[in-house]
Amino acid sequence: MRVLVFLEHHEGQLEKGGLGVLAKAATFGNAAGVVLGPGASDLAARAGAFGAVKAYACDDDALAVPLPQPRVDALAALVEKTGADAVLFAASVLAADVAAGLAARLDAGLNWDLTDLALVDGELIGKRPALGDTVLVDVGWKGSPRIGLVRSGAFDPVETGGSAEVESFDFAAENFSALATLIEQTQEESSGPSIEDAEIIVAGGRGLGSPEAFSLLEELAAALGGAVAATRAVVDAGWYPYSTQVGQTGKNVSPKLYIACGISGAIQHKVGMQGSGTIIAINKDPNAPIFDFCDISVVGDLHQIVPKLTELVRSNRA
Amino acid sequence: MKIAVCVKQVPDATVHKRIDPATKRLDRSGEATLNPTDLNAVEEALRIKEAQGGEVVLVSLGPAKATDSLRKALAMGADRAVLVSDDAAAGSDLLGTCRVLAAALEREAADLVLFGQASSDGDGAVLWAAVADRLRQPMISQVASLTVDAGSITGKRQTEHGYDVISAPLPAVIGVSDAINEPRYPSLKGIMGAKSKPQESLSLADLGVEPGAAGEAGSETTVLELGSPPSRGDQIKIEDDGSAAQKILDLVLERRLL
């Protein structure tokens, strides 16, 4: 199985997600990394230390900004050149769009949200939790190339200390691929105590109803000695800072105790907190998906329960 | 401005979703609803139309009964709906679905195509990228705020590293985030009016899509087996009767989490 692994990079570093997928792909035989964008050749060489025997690099300026469509052009050209059997991606905002565009371009199958991969009798099989993770589906592909998007954090990178042969490649861009342009990019700096180090996290979602309600969570977190986190929906709505966001486009956390308040439990949030020790979910909607993956489900109004809990914790600790 | 919104009927949140072990497809027989995050896309389309004039067309692929769900978006204010419904399209994966939707969208030739965040059943959050590639149009995904000017569109979206502002000329394909707006509730007048709005049903043949290009025949992925995910263990269920806070504290202390 000749596998290409898309290696995303940011500020001169290969991202952990792609290196994790590379580590898995290396167990199937000859895995190759793919690095795109100016500086790709230097970065591609580093893939060898994480299990790649080969690394393909394209330094084209059309790949300077993190937009998906020129990357589809580049990967389509590379699949044609190499005859790859599979192209694997670690899920990200960029990678999801690239993978789906590539599937459409090559008339190839895409399986997403994979939490494991295996080679069974020479055939690639993916494990995909579906329907709010209530069922675990074995998925396959009918033909080549097999395109797979791996769930965030599914595989850890493994440093093998090997080296990869770097090969440069070129591609011809489609005219529609360059139409979307990046006109501004803002980096978010983290500030305040890090949610990644907290042993207890009190997290809030849209069910809080208003940004002001975060003060309820801050008081509870203070009483518990923990930190406050938020979902993408409320961060995007400007209710709470980006540095506190848990989930696919935010941080992965695994505290001893995670108290989810007014969080519906979208998969993008779940992937960032499912490693937590004990998960308590408070939500007024008994059908909220988060109740499918918590240890203690509390159906009720968080605006009543949280302040009461804060008082009880304070008097218990006094 | 002609805006097409791709929407999907999904099992209602109250339905226990299951995959039929015989067909290995999602059981769609129960109560169904319009995919919740598609409402954000419909809302955004209506706001653009209200500001600039034009038409909002719903485009969907699904069983014949999906017309019931489409009516909800018509009640919100969409002008008409196009449902591609064909037994030969059932069981389409991403590839089959994007071929059918792209054909329906080519027929509409909209200036702007909008998608919602993700379907609550498939949860792929990738369809827009596949459709955009087929339409050979620029695409912006995960857009949390959108501005439309003469001939171009600009979206702000969150990534793992912060925020990107991306611009593209029309026609373009946009995937909106569920943070973009708060969908309106249909008014009584809207609900009454929806019944007389045009709903068109199309077959694959109407769109010139070969039967082998959609459905299971046109899909490149397969479902091999169904299993149970690893369990988190027994769940303790609490319904708040005023004592939930005390019960939570007791459990937290019992588990030595403080």
Reading chain A (318 residues) residue by residue, the pLDDT tens digits are 999 999 999 989 999 999 999 999 999 988 999 999 999 999 999 999 999 999 999 999 999 999 999 999 999 999 999 999 999 999 999 999 999 999 999 999 999 999 999 999 999 999 998 887 778 999 999 999 999 999 987 899 999 999 999 999 999 999 999 999 999 998 765 444 578 888 999 999 999 999 999 999 999 999 999 999 999 999 988 899 888 999 878 888 889 999 999 999 988 899 899 889 999 999 999 999 999 899 999 999 999 999 999 999 999 988
Name A167's Cβ contacts closer than 8 Å, sequence gap at least 6.
A54, A55, A56, A57
Question: Is the model's pLDDT at B114 over the cut of 90?
Answer: yes
CATH number of the structural domain spanning residue A91: 3.40.50.620
Q: Give dist(CA A271, CA B157) in Å, integer.
A: 20
Q: How confident is the model over B20-25, as a mean pLDDT?
A: 88
Asked if the C-beta of A185 comes within 8 angstroms of chain B's C-beta atoms, the answer is: yes
What residue ranges do the domains of chain B occupy? 2-213
Q: Into how many domains does chain A fold?
A: 2
Same domain for A156 and A283? no
Query: Chain A, 278-317: which have a CB under 8 Å from a chain B CB?
Result: 278-280, 282, 287, 291, 293-301, 304-306, 308-309, 311-313, 316-317
Question: Would residue A26 count as lying in a domain?
Answer: yes
Q: Give dist(CA A310, CA B245) in Å, integer.
A: 9
Residue A109: exposure state from Cβ atoms within 10 A (0-12, 13-18, ≥19):
buried
Angle between helix B127-135 and helix B94-108 axes, rounded to 10 deg: 50
Angle between helix A214-224 and helix A302-317 axes, rounded to 10 deg: 20
Domain boundary among A143, A178, A213: A178
Tens digits of per-residue pLDDT, A43-70?
A: 999 999 999 999 999 999 999 999 999 9
Three-state SS for B32-61 is EEECCCHHHHHHHHHHHHHHHCCEEEEEEE
Class of domain B2-213: alpha beta
Of A151-165, B47-61, B131-145, which range is least confident? A151-165
The two three-digit tokens of residue A107, written as one number: 């008339």
**Contact flag B124-A112 (C-beta cutoff 8 Å):** yes
The two three-digit tokens of residue A105, written as one number: 């371009």
Asked if the C-beta of A111 comes within 8 angstroms of chain B's C-beta atoms, the answer is: yes
Question: Would residue A185 count as lying in a domain?
Answer: no
Terminal CA-CA length for chain B: 58
- Which of B258, B245, B255, B257 has its CA nearest to residue A312? B245
Question: Would residue A187 count as lying in a domain?
Answer: no
Interface with chain A: mutation pick from B14, B20, B92, B94, highest number of A CBs within 10 Å: B94
Same domain for A35 and A89? yes
In B, which residues are within 8 Å of A305 by CB distance? 240, 244-245, 248
Question: Would residue A243 count as lying in a domain?
Answer: yes
Domain holding A60, by residue range, is 3-178
Interface with chain B: mutation pick from A6, A85, A110, A256, highest number of B CBs within 10 Å: A110
Tens digits of per-residue pLDDT, B199-249?
A: 999 999 999 999 999 999 999 999 999 988 777 788 999 999 999 999 999
Q: How far away is chain A from the Cα of B58, in angstroms, using its nearest Cα?
A: 22
- What local confidence, expressed as pLDDT, does residue A104 receive? 98
Residue A191: exposure state from Cβ atoms within 10 A (0-12, 13-18, ≥19):
exposed
Residue of A nearest to B241 (CA): A300
- What local confidence, expressed as pLDDT, does residue B15 receive? 83
Average pLDDT, rounded, for chain B: 94
**Contact flag A66-B159 (C-beta cutoff 8 Å):** yes
In A, which residues are within 8 Å of B210 by CB distance? none
Of A87-91, A254-258, B33-37, B121-125, which range is least confident? B121-125
**Contact flag B163-A186 (C-beta cutoff 8 Å):** yes
Question: Would residue A242 count as lying in a domain?
Answer: yes
Interface with chain A: mutation pick from B173, B221, B254, highest number of A CBs within 10 Å: B221
- What local confidence, expressed as pLDDT, does residue A191 receive? 46
Of A119-123, B15-19, B53-57, which range is least confident? B15-19
Q: Which residue among B142, B177, B222 sits closest to A142, beta carbon to beta carbon?
A: B222
In B, which residues are within 8 Å of A69 by CB distance? 132-133, 138-139
CATH number of the structural domain spanning residue A308: 3.40.50.1220
**Contact flag A108-B98 (C-beta cutoff 8 Å):** no
Q: Which residue among A134, A139, A182 sits closest to B224, beta carbon to beta carbon?
A: A139
Same domain for A111 and A67? yes
**Contact flag B220-A109 (C-beta cutoff 8 Å):** yes
Same domain for A172 and A215? no
Q: How far away is chain A from the Cα of B191, in angstroms, using its nearest Cα?
A: 25
Interface with chain B: mutation pick from A133, A200, A249, A254, highest number of B CBs within 10 Å: A249
In B, which residues are within 8 Å of A105 by CB distance? 133
Same domain for A173 and A251? no
Q: How far away is chain A from the Cα of B197, in angstroms, using its nearest Cα?
A: 32
Same domain for A212 and A159? no
Question: Would residue A192 count as lying in a domain?
Answer: no
Name A212's Cβ contacts closer than 8 Å, sequence gap at least 6.
none
Same domain for A131 and A212? no
Same domain for A30 and A148? yes
Same domain for A10 and A157? yes
Same domain for A237 and A171? no
**Contact flag A67-B244 (C-beta cutoff 8 Å):** no
User: Which pLDDT band, with edges at 50, 70 and 90, does B134 fall under?
Assistant: very high
Give me the interface pTM, i.e. the ipTM: 0.92
**Contact flag B161-A100 (C-beta cutoff 8 Å):** no
Question: Would residue A189 count as lying in a domain?
Answer: no
In B, which residues are within 8 Å of A250 by CB distance? 160
Question: Would residue A150 count as lying in a domain?
Answer: yes
Question: Is the model's pLDDT at B105 over the cut of 70?
Answer: yes
> What backbone phi and psi angles, to 5 degrees, belong to A62?
-65, -15
- For residue A292, the 8-state DSSP code is G
Q: Give dist(CA A17, CA A157) in Å, integer.
A: 8
Tens digits of per-residue pLDDT, A170-223?
A: 999 999 999 999 999 987 654 445 788 889 999 999 999 999 999 999 999 999
Cα–Cα distances (Å) from A161 to A8, A18, A34, A47, B167, in that order, read 20, 17, 18, 10, 42
In A, which residues are within 8 Å of B94 by CB distance? 100, 103, 109-110
Q: How confident is the model over B159-182, as a mean pLDDT?
A: 93
Same domain for A87 and A210? no
Q: Which residue among A139, A142, A313 sits closest to B249, beta carbon to beta carbon?
A: A313
Element (H, E) at A63: none
In A, which residues are within 8 Å of B226 by CB distance? 135-138
Q: Which residue among B158, B225, B238 sits closest to A296, beta carbon to beta carbon?
A: B238
Same domain for A210 and A294? yes
> Which regions of A196-277 does DSSP assign to beta strands (E)?
200-204, 227-230, 257-261
**Contact flag B253-A316 (C-beta cutoff 8 Å):** yes
Q: Which residue among B166, B220, B246 sits closest to A141, beta carbon to beta carbon?
A: B220
